[in-house]
Structure 1
């Protein structure tokens, strides 16, 4: 196990840890990606999947937005389905479409066939983290993984889905199989995050991208226990842990109950309202609408200042801290200069 870096001056780690930062920290989900010309140049030579399993490419792509924007945190370049590939699942990341599973999980035999994470398969991820913690100086590195439910949704649907009908059907009609699947995927998520933590990441974020399709009662019954096991198991590492999903306004309290130190909020919910839902003692991250970044600097500045003010009010209302971010990932058509100016604001 690595020796964790000590970064006492990091505003991101201060806010995520419930301490008062000297300024509002800022970073962006999908800051390393298609909005950057240097990223697009690399991708002309390498597929997304190849890039996710090449330590030097992971390192370079992770560093690109830190160099360009001077953000307060780097997030490891990867993809939600990387641990599935690391467990031997036959899949690819198809341009425009997203992850595509060759043989979706539809029956008990498919669940039984799922294997645990093979650490050797994800060794490039571990190697990249080791390279990054040396290269980043005083900038913290956030590791990440998909939550068990979102991994299950990809496996069952076979790829991205609007309604996740097959996933819900299995969850409700075959609860025994569902819980067996979620136990396996919880182990997979824990193991993948442990690989990153052991290599030296300073914080982690778990993305439950599709949790917003669920009712609160279904989330509590079929999903929350597994997300809680991820956070509960990893608490011993002593790092900030963020829980994020899109369209999860009604789930924020339950997502907070899973045990993260930070809850991510999308643009549909004010930070003050989110603070009331998650309760005192949890920091908030968010929540500028990514589409605002396409509206010109005047609109961006006005909206960003409103988010900062909302975050300040949320802290006054009991939130442990506020980290400025978007309410979802950077859109590919975003002008990188807008992001640079936003960080400097």
Structure 2
């Protein structure tokens, strides 16, 4: 791959190398807070956007062109792996993702397929188009959903507030849960390697619902599978970022999987997390996204406060503790990026 981006601000920070300022990108940086996103979304369904390489590239490029961030992230969804395995996936405005054939028993797990990379070729195709558009400007991050999070959508049949059915499977039928998680982990490993082969410059694993788990359940039903995925990746020159809601609690376990970067939610003191990690693991985060609703002087003050803590630490990527909410004012997000790029330079 010609544009491996080894010298980019983002990749250097991800590998804990010195940088003149922290790089910045934001989870959900291409999304519903942008008028330009809606201009596209109003013409196509969400899955059409994900599955049409040119459109996925258009959306991926929005924050590159409009915000000037230091890394792009592939426009896709964490549930494309579950759909490829046989989940009947749909997205409904105001409801979110739904699987009309939830996975509830042994026969349902048996039906899920794992040799499915041909069904995800559209993602590889999108990566090729995006890299042509980026033309070596900044790195491109690929991603996948972690097995527990993907499992929860398959078992619940969609989003859930309490994950009752998923937790019942973990507790009453742990062998069935492990069989399901193992299948998802195999697909996820192959899928991330497909993205690496197609040309992404980094990958992130999203365990969006790990915060629903107890320590022991996280260790058994999430951590062990993320470790398996990371150990199976083609990691040469490709930083691996591990994110979960709950990283402020689970960071010591997350570090055992040997990611290059741990993305930290906003509940933790970022410096304390960084100091607790083995050297060579960078941190990403962890501004509370709600700060971006606030007045600009508050946004600037909070950014500078976080930087003041982290400025002497190698391996710091500026990000949010979770994704940008849809009704955050666009100009507040743009302002935050400008502050980070213009005011966080090392003396």
TM class by shorter chain equals over 0.9
Q: Distance in 2 between matches of 1:84 and 1:244?
A: 19
> Hey, what does 2:343 align to over in structure 1?
none
Q: How does 1:128-143 map to 2 (within 5 A)?
A: 128-136=126-134, 137-143=136-142
- Would the aligned equivalents of 2:193 and 2:234 in 1 still touch at CA under 8 Å? no
> Hey, what does 1:261 align to over in structure 2?
260
> Hey, what does 2:337 align to over in structure 1?
343
Q: Distance in 2 between matches of 1:276 and 1:165?
A: 35
Q: Is residue 2:336 matched to residue 1:332?
A: no
> Hey, what does 1:239 align to over in structure 2?
238
Deviations 1:304-339 (A, max 9, x none): 1112122235x2xxxx51000011101111122222
RMSD: 1.4
> Hey, what does 2:188 align to over in structure 1?
189
- Would the aligned equivalents of 2:23 and 2:70 in 1 still touch at CA under 8 Å? yes
- Would the aligned equivalents of 2:103 and 2:155 in 1 still touch at CA under 8 Å? yes
Q: Distance in 2 between matches of 1:101 and 1:135?
A: 33
Give 4+ residue runs of structure 1 displaced > 6 Å after superposition: none
> Hey, what does 1:217 align to over in structure 2?
216
Does the residue aligned with 2:152 lie in a helix, a strand or coil?
A: helix
Q: Distance in 2 between matches of 1:307 and 1:199?
A: 35
Deviations 1:284-320 (A, max 9, x none): 000111111011101100111112122235x2xxxx5
- Would the aligned equivalents of 1:243 and 1:260 in 2 still touch at CA under 8 Å? yes
- Would the aligned equivalents of 2:16 and 2:282 in 1 still touch at CA under 8 Å? yes
> Hey, what does 2:116 align to over in structure 1?
118
Does the residue aligned with 1:96 lie in a helix, a strand or coil?
A: coil
Q: How many residues end up aligned between the 2 structures?
A: 338
Q: Structure 2 unaligned segments of length 5 or more: list them.
A: 340-347
Q: Is residue 2:288 matched to residue 1:294?
A: no
Shift of residue 117, structure 1, vs aligned partner: 4.8
Counterpart pick for 2:39 among 13, 38, 41: 41
> Hey, what does 1:156 align to over in structure 2?
155
Shift of residue 269, structure 1, vs aligned partner: 0.5
**Structure 1 residues 101 and 216: alpha-carbon distance in aligned structure 2, compared to 1, 3 A threshold:** same
Does the residue aligned with 1:77 lie in a helix, a strand or coil?
A: coil
TM-score, with structure 1 as normaliser: 0.94
> Hey, what does 2:177 align to over in structure 1?
178
> Hey, what does 1:278 align to over in structure 2?
277
Shift of residue 10, structure 1, vs aligned partner: 1.1
Q: Distance in 2 between matches of 1:201 and 1:284?
A: 20
Shift of residue 26, structure 1, vs aligned partner: 0.3
Q: Is residue 2:321 matched to residue 1:323?
A: no
Q: Which moved more, 1:270-279 or 1:23-32?
A: 270-279
Does the residue aligned with 1:234 lie in a helix, a strand or coil?
A: coil
Shift of residue 248, structure 1, vs aligned partner: 3.1
> Hey, what does 2:77 align to over in structure 1?
79
- Would the aligned equivalents of 1:4 and 1:201 in 2 still touch at CA under 8 Å? no
Shift of residue 235, structure 1, vs aligned partner: 4.6
Q: Structure 1 unaligned segments of length 5 or more: list them.
A: none
Q: Is residue 2:168 matched to residue 1:169?
A: yes
**Structure 1 residues 271 and 295: alpha-carbon distance in aligned structure 2, compared to 1, 3 A threshold:** same
Q: Distance in 1 between matches of 2:301 and 2:113?
A: 49
